[in-house]
Structure formats: structure tokens, C-alpha cells
Amino acid sequence: MLIASQMLGGLANATGIALAAVLAAEISGSQALSGLASAAMVAGPALLAMPLAALMTRRGRRPGLVLAYLLGAAGAVVVVTGAVLDSFPLLLSGMAVFGAGSLGNLQARYAAADLAQPARRARAISTVVWATTIGAVLGPNIAAPAGHSVTRFGIPAAAGPFVWAAGVFLLSAALVGVLLRPDPLLTARALDGSAAHSATARSLRAGVRAVRQSPRARLALVTVAVSHTAMVSIMSMTPVALTRHGADIQLIGLVISVHIAGMYAFSPVMGWLADRLGRLSVIGLAAGLLCCAALLAGTAGTSHGQTMAGLFLLGLGWSAGLVSGSALLTDSVPGPARAAVQGLCDLTMNVAAGLGGLTAGLIVARAGYGWLNAAGASLLLPMAGLALFTSRRHGRGETPRTTATD
């Protein structure tokens, strides 16, 4: 069931994201402001991450995931309304709420880890991430027909993908609400005999305290946040750069599809590597892939093929960072604090990516797409340094066989 909902959620997210920056540029009339689209789409999840984590801790994964998908559908409707009324503030508001759908997809990876054994936790996470591939790759390629289907109703073509995304998110919510039974988080809690979590265990403070006490948890948090920020910043402005170099909507959709394939299609490989070689080894791989991606995309110029290769590696590096970082984070904190820490992780990654998306538009407008990629690569230095420090001081980061809380 998680696999089916991930496919649909990935389809809805990717369909909307493909032209978000283009739509923002059209409505605002400013390329510099187009980066606000991606910023808004991660600002919303950042605000919702901890409340959603608290809801899941109290009532299980199912209510939280259903709420996330319903909010995604509502946000898509607001985006379309903003486009029709030519209202940029309303458009950004809708994109912020639309981002809740992506938060639901991200939170589903933790649902896969709830009942997984520690030695197979990364593979469990990666399987759910992989399930997004089909919908996520298809999404950008249906952006053009989605746009053509709504112009007769007076809706801008770039807003068409959001119309389709609203219906897909509603279907995802229905699937999770009906079929995700028994609830994995509540089942895991019952199996390990843990008592009901208090409000304190659900709080942001509990998550911060647990991360502060674990160097590996800190590394995991930095890995997920930096990988996501670098990916969002570069990916969000690539359609704008391609448009500047003469690419049409179909080529943009193809490039984003290849990027999304890199994000999701190879995640089982990243999960297998993280379980077999250790989390820290795959974190190092993520840093290397993301640096190569920035180099290729940043120096592509008018070569659409090189841009496509760079975006593919960008997605691959994101996958390595997300899977290994999420597994290491779950490994490194006690069971009662996990939901709070997971919420803190998604809060941090979305706040960081929101700032990255906001800055990305300004960098491209004033300095160019190449400098944006250089800035994205520079973010990876502290992540790589912290991984090296943690590896030397605390060991290689092999998968734990047993823990007190598993």
C-alpha cells in the first residue's frame, strides 16, 4: 500500500514541480522571483513537519499521511486559483500548502522503517523511496498535456499540472486512509512494549535533545538537509536556465524526468550499499556525486545533454544522502524519541531548502546558473568534513545489529 501511495504521490509532486518556477516567473513577471516558488514549496512542509510528527506519534502514521496528501490537494487548488487571478501572493500561498504532499511522501520512508530490522533498515527505506520512481518520472512528461487540457477553461498552461496533481493527491489520501492497516508505527510500538509517548516525547525540544546527544544523529541531520538543499536549489532553477537557452516545455519535462529517475530509481542500490558498507561510506558517495553534478550542470552552457547528465547525478547524489542519512538518523536515537527526531529532520531539511530556493533565484538573476551550481557544491564541504570527523572518531558507521530500542 505504501508503494502504491508513493507512486501516486510522486506523480502529483513531480507534475506540479516541473513547471513551478516557470509559472512563478510568468505570474510575477520577474525571473529573480521565480525561485520563490521552490522556496514556498519547502517552507510549507517545514512549518508542518513537527505538527505532523506529533500527530503521527499520538495517532500513528495513517492520519498524518492522509492529512499531508489532503493538504497537497488543497494547495494545488489554491495555486490554480492564484494563476487564474494573476495573484502572485496567492500562488505562493498555494505552493506552500502544496508542498505538504511532498512531506507526506518523505514521511512514508519512516513508516517503512518502523517494522524493519536494523540490518535491513536502509533497504526498507530505499524500497519506499524507489516506489516514487514511476509516478515521479511520468509526472514532468505529462506536464505538457496537462497544460493543454486546461487552457480552454481560461487556466494558464503552466498551471495545468497542478489541476491534475490535486486529483492524484486525493486518490493517494483515499488509498492510505483505507488500506494502511494495521498502522506500522502503532504496531511497532505494541511489539516492543513501549508505553504511550508523552507530549514531551513528541516535542521539538525532545528531538533537539536526542540529536544533541548523538554525533551520528547530528551528521545524519546535516547530510539530509545539505543533500536536499543542494538538490532543490539547482533543480528548481534548471527549467529557467533551459528556457533561457531555447528549450521548450517538452525538453524541460524530459530533463526533469531524468533527474527524478536519478533521485528514485536507484535508491534500492543506495539502501543495499548503506546496509552492507555502512552509512558513512554512502554519505561520502553522496557528497562526491553532488559535487560532480554541480560541475557538469554548472559548465553545460547551451549543451542540454550535459545539463541532463548533471541533473541525473544530482538526483543520484540526493538519493544516496537521503537514504543513508535517514537510516543513520533512525539508528542513532532511542525509539521513544524517533518520531520527534524525524520531524525535526524534515523541518530542518525543508527550512534549509527553502532558503536555498529563495537564494537560487537571486543568484541566477544576478550572477548566472553556473554560479548557482558553484554555491551548491560549496554546501557539501561541511557535510564531507563532518562525515570524515565522525568516521575517524566514532568508527565507520556500520549497521547496528541490535539496539536497546529495537
Three-class SS of 358-387: HHHHHHHHHCCHHHHHHHHHHCHHHHHHHH
Which amino acid would we find at residue 395?
G
- Tell me: pLDDT of 198 over 70: no
pLDDT of residue 92: 93
Work out the end-to-end distance of the chain between its first and last CA atoms, rounded to an integer number of angstroms. Answer: 24
For the segment 6-40, what is each residue's pLDDT rounded down to a tens digit?
Answer: 788 878 877 777 778 788 888 888 766 776 787 78
pLDDT of residue 43: 78
pTM of the entire predicted model: 0.77
- Which of 29-33, 48-52, 392-396 has the weakest average pLDDT? 392-396
- Which of 12-16, 144-148, 285-289, 292-296 has the weakest average pLDDT? 12-16
Alpha-carbon distance 381 to 234, whole Å? 17
Domains, the chain: 2-181+203-394 (1.20.1250.20)
Rg of the chain (C-alpha set): 20
pLDDT of residue 394: 62
When comparing pLDDT for 406 and 84, which is higher?
A: 84
Residue 246: CB atoms within 10 A of its CB come to 9
pLDDT of residue 388: 85
Alpha-carbon distance 165 to 187, whole Å? 31
Whether the CB-CB separation of 290 and 314 falls below 8 Å is answered with: yes
- Which of 56-60, 121-125, 151-155 has the weakest average pLDDT? 56-60
Alpha-carbon distance 129 to 112, whole Å? 10
- Tell me: pLDDT of 195 over 60: no
pLDDT band at 391, cuts 50/70/90? confident
pLDDT band at 193, cuts 50/70/90? low
pLDDT of residue 354: 77
DSSP 178-224: HH--S-HHHHHHHHTTPPPPPTTTTSHHHHHHHHHT-HHHHHHHHHH
Alpha-carbon distance 31 to 34, whole Å? 5
How confident is the model over 106-126, as a mean pLDDT? Answer: 83
pLDDT band at 129, cuts 50/70/90? confident
Residue 184: cis peptide before it, omega within 30 degrees of 0: no
Tell me the percentage of the chain whose pLDDT exceeds 90. Answer: 37
pLDDT band at 204, cuts 50/70/90? low
Tell me the percentage of the chain whose pLDDT exceeds 70. Answer: 92
> C-alpha grid cell for residue 365?
538573476
- Which of 73-82, 173-182, 347-356 has the weakest average pLDDT? 347-356
What is the four-CA torsion angle of 81, 134, 52, 143, rounded to 10 degrees? -10
When comparing pLDDT for 291 and 333, which is higher?
A: 291
Q: How far is CA 98 from CA 95, 135, 199, 289, 330, in A?
A: 5, 17, 28, 29, 27
For the segment 257-271, what is each residue's pLDDT rounded down to a tens digit?
Answer: 899 889 988 999 999
When comparing pLDDT for 134 and 122, which is higher?
A: 122
Residue 114 CB-half CA count within 13 A: 23
Residue 192: exposure state from Cβ atoms within 10 A (0-12, 13-18, ≥19): exposed
The DSSP output letter for 396 is S
pLDDT of residue 11: 82
pLDDT of residue 403: 39
- Tell me: pLDDT of 402 over 50: no
Q: Which residues contact 336 (CB under 8 A, 6 or more apart)?
A: 194, 197, 201, 405
How confident is the model over 337-361, as a mean pLDDT? Answer: 84
pLDDT of residue 203: 63
The DSSP output letter for 400 is P
